Structure 1
Amino acid sequence: MKLWGGRFKTEESKLMEDFNTSLPFDRRLYKQDIVGSIAHVNMLSKCNILTGEEAGKIEEGLKSILEDIESGKLSVEGDYEDIHSFMEVNLIKRIGELGKKLHTSRSRNDQVAVDMRMFAKEEAIEIANELGLLLETIKKLADENRVIMPGYTHLQRAQVVTFKHHMMAYYSMFSRDKKRVENAIDILDESPLGCCALAGTTYDIDRNVTSDALGFKKPVDNFMDGVSDRDYLLELCSCFSIIMMHMSRLSEELIIWSSQEFKFVDMSDAFSTGSSIMPQKKNPDAAELIRGKTGRVYGSLMSLLTTLKGLPLAYNKDMQEDKEQFFDSLDTVMACIKVMNGMLSTIKVNEGNMRKAVKHGFLNATEVADYLVNKGVAFRDAHGIVGQIVIYCEDKGCGIEDLSLEEFQKFDDSFGDDIYGFIDYDNVLEKGIKKYL
């Protein structure tokens, strides 16, 4: 049974049937479709469009379908056009001709629109919750490792920071990501049920009843917008892309830091893999996969933007293509957040190697220039003087702090004994970022 066909003279091509069907992916919306349908029939009863007895029998039938799906007695599969036809056909099988009244004053356009909004809202809340857990892990890792390390620009050692300060930069990024997702939830929280195909219905329905029953803030303002709006999916896919970008940046650093050349961190065996030929290898595959899957999420966003860019109002079949892109993006970002959380919760920080890297990076050069400025030397002159000091230390194979006072004074007689305390790395941290920790 199809939900249409009365005006057709010939049967649909089997090729078209297969091409048109969306059940293989929109079956994921089975629960939202049932919950939305129950809210719809109860509203019809309150508005005296269905009797209370009719609504009760339909609701009972829908709940039995949900129970059988979730228990495994009923599989969401078969020769159905979509999840909506699956539900209606199975409802009619269970309660008879009364099941045909389910679709009164409703179109598949507003039906799928409300299903997708409900699904997107529920899953976005889960993403926000997972980000909250990731934030807790980052904070714990940072607090337990307030160790000195090099900070980088251009992947060159620049100034001294702490591992905590570095990780808390990602804490800030993921905090913004969580806010973005929560903002997207707030914006999408409107019900399109009752818009019907595009122009509402001549039945005297009450859209506030279904909106309240389904947990939305309010019904949408415009029927045509209600059935054709997919902005919320675009916004969530954009949020997911930014989350993945941040996780990819962090993954890149973890990959670099875990290399033998750095050895700043050790990745847990639980989130690493080995080589089939080189027995010594321990590869940071969890981080590499997150970095790789970032492009996949970007692709979903661009695909959805491209699908929607030229569509006239209101509903068009092109919009069926929104689901696979959104589902894949959602599943990917959810898995990556969980893996990142597990990876960070099991990582080991190597303080000794980080401190050694600080020692050999001239990371107190800026402070030497600041010292000279405090002694009355113009900053541009101080900058040049310190550049010469760095060359001297490179040739000598030592750190700036290893120079004698006499050596310092060869470059400028403003240097005094207080230079050593001024450029001590721990003192530099105390004067700099530690006051913000």
Structure 2
Amino acid sequence: MAQLWGGRFTGSINELAWDFNASITFDKRFLEVDVKGSKAHATMLAKQGIISEDEKDQIVKGLDSILEDVKAGKLEITTKYEDIHSFLEANLIDRIGDAGKKVHTGRSRNDQVALDMRLYARNEIEHTAELLKKTLEVLNGIMESNIDTYMPGFTHLQKAQPVTLAHHVGAYFEMFKRDLLRMKDIRNRMNYCPLGAGALAGTTYPLDREYTAELLDFYGPTLNSMDSVSDRDYLIEYLSALSTIMMHLSRFSEEIIIWNSNEYRFVTIDDAYSTGSSIMPQKKNPDIAELVRGKTGRVYGDLMSLLTTMKGIPLAYNKDMQEDKEAAFDAIDTVDNCLTLFTDMLRTLKFNKDNMEKSAMMGFTNATDAADYLVKKGLPFRDAHSVIGRLVLACIDKNCAIDDLSLEELKTFSDLFEEDIYDAISLKTCVEKRLTIGAPSSTSIEKVIKLNNDFLASFSIS
């Protein structure tokens, strides 16, 4: 058992307690950031004259060699070590001798692991942002190709008013755009370096924390050593944002599942993102969309786990906080996989435009516009609402759309109907006369698409 402590102990730890306490099985993914942080720390120690330049060079070279050997499969990270920090330090000492024993000068595992988690989270936030940007690019591409693809808009899962596929998909663009902006916001708020905080009260060594922060591309050092080692707010914010991403993915997945059903047939999912049935040969199931929807609860659980872990912890560091890692890793991995697969599924999705348009026509989505037509002819809105309500009821009995009725039939409901009613309630007119920004007309959508392109071209996470 390789550990960074023990001088104060006369007995050995219980084997089960060792396994329970150890984190090497999951914090080994910190290897690269731990090497990066240790190299920066050693560089700062040499600058401050706390270790020599030669010792710093030995440490940096030794750390690089360990990382290279692990990546090449020449060195294995095993449960012989308590955590990734003890693995690195023990192997460094084996390789370079006494100089390796100085790498931990002016540093505690508390600020070391706090640094590793920040570096790791920052990398993952940037990766999540990249995936979100790809999703947004696909969504904007769908919008560009479907400005004139008419479909029903829904409220309460009931057909409401005609919109376009570009308009509908544009709603999800706005959702994922907010998700992307949250990544930037979280990164900016957490981008401060905890290294140098020590266990909780700093150190008597003349560290240059500003220099360490600069080496690691942080804005500067954290300003309270106790908060530095016990803060996990940025992880909670990140997991909260990941949960919101999953909520958006789940909503869109639900719609794709509905649209893929035999009753709607709005979309055809590519074979690469569908599965069949073991007994029913006709089935083509939207399993990827269903799994994305299902995994949303898993990410919510990771967030609740971390919130619950942190809720009763007094200052400063407590071992409970080791529980942050598995929850964070699981949420990050799950969202990365879901975003990647969902975006690829979306990119290959075939939209059945004729079915969408027919559904809009048969769902009385133009009823509001028919009422507005009568209002413009002088009828009070409440009376117009009643007339169109009775007209829709008659159409339901006849199994037809409003547009299918003859002018003579329409006049039995109101003498105000004229030949121009048909143009007034066509899907194209219903959509195109809604010209305000954010509405479904082609003029409005084209403006939004340009704004979307400008946003994607100019966005930077840092």
Q: Gaps spanning 5+ residues in structure 2: where?
A: 435-439, 446-462
Moved more, 161-170 or 410-419: 410-419
Structure-to-structure mapping, 1:276-315, within 5 angstroms: 276-315=278-317
Q: Does 1:50 align with 2:51?
A: yes
Maintained 8 Å contact 1:141/1:344: no
Structure 2: distance between partners of 1:411 and 1:283: 46
Maintained 8 Å contact 2:140/2:170: yes
Q: For 2:103, what is the secondary structure of its paired residue? A: helix
Q: For 2:283, what is the secondary structure of its paired residue? A: coil
Q: Which amino acid aligns with 2:50?
A: I
Structure-to-structure mapping, 1:28-107, within 5 angstroms: 28-107=29-108
Q: Does 1:421 align with 2:442?
A: no
Structure 1: distance between partners of 2:74 and 2:385: 76
Structure-to-structure mapping, 1:77-226, within 5 angstroms: 77-146=78-147, 147-226=149-228
Tell me how far 1:425 sits from its aligned partner. Answer: 1.2
Q: Deviations over 1:138-192 (max 9, x none)?
A: 1112222331111111111111111111111111111110000111111110000
Tell me how far 1:248 sits from its aligned partner. Answer: 0.4
Q: Does 1:26 align with 2:34?
A: no
Q: Which amino acid aligns with 2:44?
A: M
Moved more, 73-82 or 126-135: 73-82
Q: For 2:206, what is the secondary structure of its paired residue? A: coil
Tell me how far 1:417 sits from its aligned partner. Answer: 2.0
The residue that corresponds to 1:241 in the other structure is 243
Q: Which amino acid aligns with 1:350?
A: N
Structure 1: distance between partners of 2:402 and 2:416: 16
Structure 2: distance between partners of 1:229 and 1:382: 61
Tell me how far 1:379 sits from its aligned partner. Answer: 1.4
Maintained 8 Å contact 1:192/1:220: yes
Q: Gaps spanning 5+ residues in structure 1: where?
A: none
Q: Which amino acid aligns with 2:430?
A: V
Maintained 8 Å contact 1:3/1:85: yes
Q: Which amino acid aligns with 2:213?
A: S
Structure 1: distance between partners of 2:347 and 2:407: 46
Structure 2: distance between partners of 1:62 and 1:396: 79
Tell me how far 1:204 sits from its aligned partner. Answer: 0.7
Maintained 8 Å contact 2:27/2:325: yes
Q: Which amino acid aligns with 1:96?
A: G
Structure 2: distance between partners of 1:141 and 1:274: 27
**Shift >6 Å, 4+ stretches:** none
Structure 2: distance between partners of 1:351 and 1:61: 61
Q: Which amino acid aligns with 2:296?
A: T
Q: For 1:157, what is the secondary structure of its paired residue? A: strand
Tell me how far 1:205 sits from its aligned partner. Answer: 0.7
Structure 2: distance between partners of 1:78 and 1:155: 53
Maintained 8 Å contact 1:145/1:349: no
Structure 2: distance between partners of 1:339 and 1:436: 31
The residue that corresponds to 2:403 in the other structure is 401
Structure 1: distance between partners of 2:423 and 2:43: 76
Q: Does 1:232 align with 2:234?
A: yes
Structure 2: distance between partners of 1:294 and 1:277: 28
Q: Which amino acid aligns with 2:105?
A: T
Q: What is the aligned residue count?
A: 437
In structure 1, which of residues 375, 378, 383 is the aligned counterpart of residue 377 of structure 2?
Answer: 375
Maintained 8 Å contact 1:58/1:102: yes
Structure 2: distance between partners of 1:360 and 1:372: 21
Structure 2: distance between partners of 1:75 and 1:142: 49
Tell me how far 1:127 sits from its aligned partner. Answer: 0.6
Structure 2: distance between partners of 1:40 and 1:359: 67
TM-score (normalised: structure 2): 0.93
Q: Percent identity?
A: 55
Q: Deviations over 1:41-87 (max 9, x none)?
A: 11011111101111111111111111111111112223111110111
Structure 2: distance between partners of 1:71 and 1:208: 34
The residue that corresponds to 1:337 in the other structure is 339
Q: For 1:248, what is the secondary structure of its paired residue? A: helix
Tell me how far 1:232 sits from its aligned partner. Answer: 0.6
